[in-house]
Amino acid sequence: MRNEVVRLRALRSAMRITFTLGLGGCIQDPGTGFEADDDPRDDGGDLEPDADAPDPFVVGPDAALSDAALADAVAIVGPDARVGDAFVDSGDAAADAETPVDAAAACPKPEEDPEGWERCCETQGIVACCEAVNWDWQRAPACMAWGPPVPPAMEVA
């Protein structure tokens, strides 16, 4: 089970970046239901963005952009934020049944149709691609969802 401190700090990291400074000042809405004080183990961080911080939105030298963003990330999660005893698996993850949304189009096996498999890998994504080669997904959990996918098109009635 995940350590609650980790969960709350991760949520706060995400919350913090959603607050923005507009031309008219901070548009923070106090009614969002998530406040810094919610976590009594809070490290003293502030949900308010630093108005003087370099703005990643402004185009500038790559290094400046990167430094600003890195400083922000470090400020969010803390310089020594490791929770060493946090990672103990619940043991019943498998009880969380796969949901229907996990379904993916099947790819042909590469030994049977190498070109078809490669084409399928390009069009159906990594999950279908790997399952065609009997990828052992149960060998360990895999957490690969980082980069944003292509947004969906609106279904036109």
Partner 1 sequence: MIDLREEARRVPVAVAGSSDLFAAARDTWFGRMVNEHSSAAVFAGLAEQLRPFDAAAADTCAGFAEEERHHGVLCGAVLEAIGGEATFPAPATTALPVHADVPAREAALRNVLAICCLAETVAVALIGAERLEMADGPIRRVLSDILADEVGHARFGWRWLAAEAPRLDAATRARLGRYLEVAFGHLETHEHANLRLGGPLPAGAADLGLCDAGAQRALFRDTVETVIVPRLEAHGLPARAAWASRRNPG
Question: Which residues, 68 to 97, sit near partner 1 by CB under 8 A?
Answer: 68-70, 72-74, 76-77, 81-84, 86-87, 89-91, 93-94, 96
Q: What residues pair up with 26 in beta bridges, in sequence order?
A: 21
Instruction: Please identify, using beta-carbon distances, which residue of 40 and 84 lies nearer to partner 1.
Output: 84
- Name the minimum Å distance from CB 76 to partner 1: 7
Nearest to 48 by CA among 31, 33, 66, 29: 29
Binding status of residue 149 toward partner 1 by CB under 8 A: yes
Region 52-71 residues binding partner 1, contact defined as CB under 8 A: 56-59, 62, 65-66, 68-70
Could you give the angle at which helices 4-17 and 62-77 cross, rounded to 10 degrees? 140
Region 19-48 residues binding partner 1, contact defined as CB under 8 A: 19-20, 22, 27, 29, 31-34
Give the angle subtended at the CA of 6 by the CAs of 4 and 10, to the nearest 5°. Answer: 120
